């Protein structure tokens, strides 16, 4: 590492999903026809009424600084959303908006973690959690979850991982990368364990609106005994196809929201005024557009699962939520590529498919679960079919 860099840079790496996208862009620049199944982004356009609200904000001159944590109008819309959809009541002082949910997670960790602190991270996990925790000076405690348990944290595993140094427990439902969705009884069982501990709970609900099997319940609503120490993270990136608008929001205890506000005031300041106006329209608007989106996503999920079932060496379970399939690729280990390379890891398999098929996927090791591939199926139907055909052909050439 360059001596001019801070020592903290030794504990963090670039986002694996961003790296896959960069490699695909490099291949495309060389003239290759690449297909990205590695990016967590819907291919649908942002709903028209949301776009119009952003455009109107520009026309109205709504382009100046706002309060760091968001306008009063946005906070009111967030509060209405939490109460209407999740049964949660937050005062304006318990709500903050930021430049994406990712920023708010980072701010929460920076505001609460220090040397020697621990954060329980169920695996498979979103790729950025561990590095954010390390950057805040703390230690991620990775707790493996298993397919037999629906990829969900069990009360027994949680109890075994808790220590006096545990500051946070992360719950991501629906989960990235597995699509696992926690039911109310499962969250209540985890609450039973946490009731005897003072750890904070980070509920990352960003995929809330993309549920195919079962129904979503907010951890904060299912864990009433933990009221006052649950931070609910959400945003408009996934459910409204607004990744580029960069608008996330959170509800939680006032002392924590105030600290996050202070940090944000010294970093990004307020989120875009235009995005705030659009988010009000999104949160207060009709959600009926989601019905068509979810029908399309469900058909794509079945398309991916059918393709996987036809490929020897790959297997996958149906994913209840989000827009990923988390496929086991250990059946491909030991096979030889046409170039003579023996595949020995999920990274090898992902690398082979990138070079041979020009299809990008994220290896499971990036999510703390080696031996798997995350396949993001939120892309155009024709391109998805082409990608799956290329994958099948490439894997068929293995010896």
Out of 251, 284, 317, pick the residue that ends a domain. Answer: 284
- Other Cβ atoms less than 10 A from the Cβ of 69: the count is 23
Helical ranges in 163-267 per DSSP H: 184-194, 219-222, 254-265
Strand 118-123 to strand 139-144: parallel, antiparallel, or no bridges (unpaired)? Answer: parallel
Structure tokens of 156?
């027994």
Is residue 267, in this structure, part of any structural domain at all?
Answer: yes
Q: Are residues 169 and 256 in the same domain?
A: yes
Q: Are residues 74 and 125 in the same domain?
A: yes
> Is residue 376 reached through a cis peptide bond, with omega within 30 degrees of 0 on the bond before it?
no
Find residue 375's DSSP bridge partners: 325
- Other Cβ atoms less than 10 A from the Cβ of 64: the count is 7
The string of DSSP letters for 196-247 reads TS--EEEEE-TTTT-BSSS----HHHH-GGGTTSEEEEEESTTTTT-GGG--
Q: Are residues 77 and 25 in the same domain?
A: no
Is residue 252, in this structure, part of any structural domain at all?
Answer: yes
Q: Is the sign of the CA dihedral 105, 160, 318, 371 positive or negative? A: positive
Q: Are residues 62 and 25 in the same domain?
A: no
Residue with token string 């600084």? 65
pTM over 0.85: yes
Assign residue 350 the CATH number of its domain. Answer: 3.90.1150.10
Taking the CA atoms of residue 302, residue 306, residue 311 and residue 316 in that order, the dihedral angle to the nearest 10 degrees is 50
Q: Are residues 104 and 249 in the same domain?
A: yes
Assign residue 170 the CATH number of its domain. Answer: 3.40.640.10
Predicted local confidence at residue 1, as pLDDT: 65
Say if residues 218 and 181 touch (Cβ distance below 8 Å).
no
Q: Are residues 71 and 192 in the same domain?
A: yes
Predicted local confidence at residue 2, as pLDDT: 81
Owning domain of residue 135 = 48-284
Out of 243, 261, 284, pick the residue that ends a domain. Answer: 284
Q: Are residues 265 and 141 in the same domain?
A: yes
Nearest to 122 by CA among 78, 75, 158, 71: 158
The DSSP call for residue 212 is S
Cα angle: 5, vertex 134, 151; to 5 degrees: 140
Provide the number of structural domains found in the chain. Answer: 2
Out of 266, 284, 302, pick the residue that ends a domain. Answer: 284
Nearest to 167 by CA among 114, 129, 130: 114
Who contacts 138 (Cβ-Cβ below 8 Å, separation ≥6)? 109, 113, 114, 115, 116, 117, 118, 119, 167
Is residue 119, in this structure, part of any structural domain at all?
Answer: yes
Q: Is 358 left (phi over 0), alpha (psi -120 to 50) or beta?
A: left
Q: Are residues 272 and 314 in the same domain?
A: no
Is residue 1, in this structure, part of any structural domain at all?
Answer: no
Is residue 392, in this structure, part of any structural domain at all?
Answer: yes
Q: Are residues 69 and 183 in the same domain?
A: yes
Is residue 2, in this structure, part of any structural domain at all?
Answer: no
Is residue 190, in this structure, part of any structural domain at all?
Answer: yes
Q: Are residues 239 and 377 in the same domain?
A: no
Q: Are residues 213 and 262 in the same domain?
A: yes
Predicted local confidence at residue 21, as pLDDT: 77
pLDDT tens for each residue of the chain, 399 residues long? 688 898 888 888 877 777 777 888 888 888 889 999 998 999 999 999 999 999 999 999 999 999 999 999 999 999 999 999 999 999 999 999 999 999 999 999 999 999 999 999 999 999 999 999 999 999 999 999 999 999 999 999 999 999 999 999 999 999 999 999 999 999 999 999 999 999 999 999 999 999 999 999 999 999 999 999 999 999 999 999 999 999 999 999 999 999 999 999 999 999 999 999 999 999 999 999 999 999 999 999 999 999 999 999 999 999 999 999 999 999 999 999 999 999 999 999 999 999 999 999 999 999 999 999 999 999 999 999 999 999 999 999 999
Q: Are residues 210 and 268 in the same domain?
A: yes
């Amino acid at each position: 590492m360059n001596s001019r860099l801070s020592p903290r840079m030794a504990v963090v790496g670039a986002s694996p999903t961003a790296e896959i996208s960069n490699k695909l862009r490099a291949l495309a620049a060389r003239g290759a026809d690449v297909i990205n199944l590695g990016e967590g982004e819907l291919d649908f356009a942002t709903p028209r009424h949301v776009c119009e609200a952003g455009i109107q904000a520009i026309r109205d001159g709504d382009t100046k600084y706002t309060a760091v944590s968001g306008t009063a109008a946005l906070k009111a819309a967030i509060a209405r959303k939490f109460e209407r959809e999740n049964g949660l009541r937050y005062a304006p002082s318990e709500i903050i908006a930021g430049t994406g949910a990712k920023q708010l997670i980072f701010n929460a960790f920076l505001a609460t973690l220090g040397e020697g602190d621990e954060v329980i991270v169920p695996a498979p996990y979103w790729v950025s959690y561990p590095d954010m925790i390390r950057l805040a000076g703390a230690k991620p405690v990775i707790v493996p979850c298993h397919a037999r348990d629906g990829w969900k944290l069990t009360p027994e595993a949680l109890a075994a991982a808790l220590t006096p140094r545990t500051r946070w427990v992360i719950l991501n439902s629906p989960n990235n990368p597995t699509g696992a969705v926690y039911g109310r009884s499962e969250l209540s069982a985890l609450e039973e364990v946490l009731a005897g501990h003072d750890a904070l709970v980070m509920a990352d609900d960003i995929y809330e609106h993309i549920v195919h099997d079962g129904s979503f319940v907010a951890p904060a609503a299912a864990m009433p005994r933990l009221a006052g120490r649950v931070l609910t993270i959400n945003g408009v990136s996934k459910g409204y196809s607004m990744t580029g608008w960069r608008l996330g929001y959170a509800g939680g205890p006032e002392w924590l929201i105030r600290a996050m506000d202070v940090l944000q005031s010294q970093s990004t300041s307020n989120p875009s005024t235009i995005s705030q106006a659009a988010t009000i329209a999104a949160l207060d608007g009709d959600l009926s557009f989601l019905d068509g989106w979810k029908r399309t996503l469900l058909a794509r999920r079945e398309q991916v699962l059918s393709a996987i079932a036809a490929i020897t060496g790959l297997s996958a379970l149906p994913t209840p939520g989000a827009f990923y399939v988390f496929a086991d690729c250990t059946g491909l280990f030991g096979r030889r590529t046409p170039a003579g390379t023996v595949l020995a890891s999920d990274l090898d398999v992902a690398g082979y498919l990138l070079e041979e098929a020009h299809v990008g996927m994220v290896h499971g090791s990036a999510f703390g679960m080696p031996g798997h591939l995350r396949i993001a199926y939120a892309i155009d139907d024709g391109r998805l079919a082409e990608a799956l055909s290329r994958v099948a052909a490439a894997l068929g050439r293995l010896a």
